[in-house]
Amino acid sequence: MPVDIQSDRVVLHHPAGASTTILLYGATVISWISPSISGTSAVPVTAEGPALVERFFVSSLASLDGSKPVRGGIPICWPIFGQPSREENKALKQHGFARSSVWKYEETVLDAREGVSGRFILENSDQTDKLFPHPFKLVYTVTLAEHQLTTSLRVHNTGSAPLAFQALLHNYFKGESSIAQVQPLKGVTYRDKVRNMVEDVETREIVDVREYTDRVYEAAGGNYTLSFPRSVHISIKTHNLPDVTVWNPQETGSSMADMEPNGWAHYVCVEPGYVKQFVELKQGEEWWGQQVLTVL
Ligand SMILES: O=P(O)(O)OC[C@H]1O[C@H](O)[C@H](O)[C@@H](O)[C@@H]1O
């Protein structure tokens, strides 16, 4: 069955073997399995075809029962990224509530060899009104192709007052963080969360995360490559998500209760977002941001 709708999750299956699992809690993608590409990956091609490889890290201690945001996959940060920076958002928790709200599966949009696609929605409720008094509708579309996963977030201002928000797709890519390489970020201005938000300019052709890294690159170009040399290369192309955070906590990650021992050694977060500024929508307006992840 190409689209398997369960009580707490939806699994999309592509005829070439790829699959992705999305929890209704947070519309969090918790798995993306796709075939490796022959000749460019260390993963062997067997008689059954190219090996199917999990692309996302999810901590073995992550809660998947809706009790807290998932430590892994793609949590959605909305309507803010990080701690509230504006007085009007002070009731919000870090990264907002989209990642800890239960979304509805609206419909299967496409079910074909070109892609299998499902749409999730979240609208304001009494609960969100208390924290963030703005009517809104979020539409999140996840589309799976043989070697590609596309996730798109559409935001509608369904109220009469302006709606201001940040948005970020918090990808936890699976791979050895000691060899991870992200590029091109040379010359891009970033805020360094490790150094008290100091502003600096990236000087490296290839960014690694061999030290504690938590950098918010601003107006970073929108297209990146994440490589784990000799195993996995992923292209990240974005629309309307101009900034990108690169995060790996190293040993400090061990203090997170839902991080498995040494978990930080097995992922890197590369998180496209609209976070330097706020998107401002007037009554009836909408905005959309998208990332296209392709195994190279
Ligand atoms: O622990 P969380 O609220 O999920 O946040 C996890 C991480 O998210 C982002 O990458 C931020 O830049 C980090 O500063 C933060 O630690």
Q: Decide if 56 contacts 293 (C-beta within 8 A).
A: no
Beta bridge partners of 280: 164
Report how far ligand 1's centroid is from the alpha carbon of 82 (Å).
Answer: 7
- Which of 68, 85, 170 most suits a substitution to test ligand 1, by most atoms within 8 Å of the C-beta? 170
Task: Determine how many CB atoms are found less than 10 A away from the CB of residue 150.
Answer: 18
The domain spanning residue 171 has which CATH number?
A: 2.70.98.10
Locate 247 and state its tokens: 């995060």
Q: Is the pTM of this model over 0.80?
A: yes
Give me the interface pTM, i.e. the ipTM: 0.98
112-149 pLDDT tens trace: 999 999 999 999 999 999 999 999 999 999 999 999 99
Q: Structurally, how many domains does the chain consist of?
A: 1
196: left (phi over 0), alpha (psi -120 to 50) or beta: left
Which residue range is the domain that position 211 belongs to? 3-295
- In the annotation, is 271 catalytic? yes
**From the CA atom positions of the chain, what is the Rg in Å?**
18
Q: Determine if the peptide bond prior to 50 is cis (ω within 30°).
A: no
Q: Decide if 270 contacts 173 (C-beta within 8 A).
A: yes
Locate 171 and state its tokens: 């990808």
pLDDT at 31: 98
Question: Which atom of ligand 1 is found nearest the CA of 271?
Answer: 10
Question: Which atom of ligand 1 is found nearest the CA of 69?
Answer: 4
63-92 pLDDT tens trace: 999 999 999 999 999 999 999 999 999 999
203-259 pLDDT tens trace: 999 999 999 999 999 999 999 999 999 889 999 999 999 999 999 999 887 789 999
